Amino acid sequence: MAVEKHLTVRDYLEPRYAAAAGSRVARATRKGLASFQQVLKNETLKPGKDVSEGMRVSEYLKNPLLRTQTARLSRATASAAAGPRSTEVNAEADSARRSQLLEADRSALNGRCRFGARSSPSTLDQLRAENASGHPVEKSVQQAAARYNLPPDLIRGVIRAESNYKVDAVSSAGAKGLMQLMPETAKELGVTNPFDIRQNVDGGARYLRQMLDRFGGDLKLALAAYNAGPGAVEQFSGDVPFAETRQYVQRVLRYAGLKA
């Protein structure tokens, strides 16, 4: 049984498609074309209403919204796809730059020292930081400072100038330990093991106290006597001519944060 093909809008508007579909369809198309065009004409001339009734066929043909919206959607999709990727790259670059700046700041801060250039990993600042955890050198410094009425910074300054906090330091003259006690001096002070942290710091602080008392509390003379011996200070009436001793006094004062 033959099925009758219904005419479409396209058949009315473009009869050549209807002709291709068959003679019966073509005839029906030609017959209805005039009436359909009249409908479109009347629809165009019809005055607008207050209430919208939706898009008419003629309006759709003049305003192909679907094609326009599709193009806009494609552009928006492409922009959205590119946007986050670009933002991500910029964010990663900014994060890398911030990390480099922070690392540079940390390096600069680590290179500073309160009393001058950092000479080795074992410095006065590190010992102070370790005080909270009970570092044995710092504990000995605090105990000796309290026992002999000395500023802790002064003892730290002598230790740094003498051995730079090396517990097993030995000089060419035979001085030993943190505060570089000579064997005879260590024996007089009752230090049996100059490499024992507590004994060495206690002995050096006690000797420094003795020098201060001997020279009337004059710190520069006491430090000069600690380095060159009290006999040299007395021999030169306090003006020791040795460059090493003069530099030593200035260095200890600087490390201790005291005025030269």
pLDDT tens-place string over residues 237-260: 999 999 999 999 999 999 999 876
Taking the C-alpha atoms of residue 143 and residue 120, their distance in angstroms, rounded to an integer, is: 25
Residue 15 confidence (pLDDT): 52
> Which one, of 247, 77, 229, 226, lies nearest residue 158 by Cα?
226
Was domain 124-256 assigned CATH 3.30.700.30? Answer: no
Listing DSSP states for 31-88 in one string gives: HHHHHHHHHHHHHHHSPPPSS-----HHHHHH--HHHHHHHHHHHHHHHHHHHHHHHH
The reply to whether 162 belongs to the active site is yes
pLDDT bin (cut points 50, 70, 90) of residue 83 is very low
Show the tokens assigned to 126: 């590190």
pLDDT tens-place string over residues 165-194: 999 999 999 999 999 999 999 999 999 999
From 162, 184, 188, 234, active-site residue: 162
Domains of the chain, by residue range, sit at 9-41, 80-110, 124-256
Show the tokens assigned to 13: 């508007």
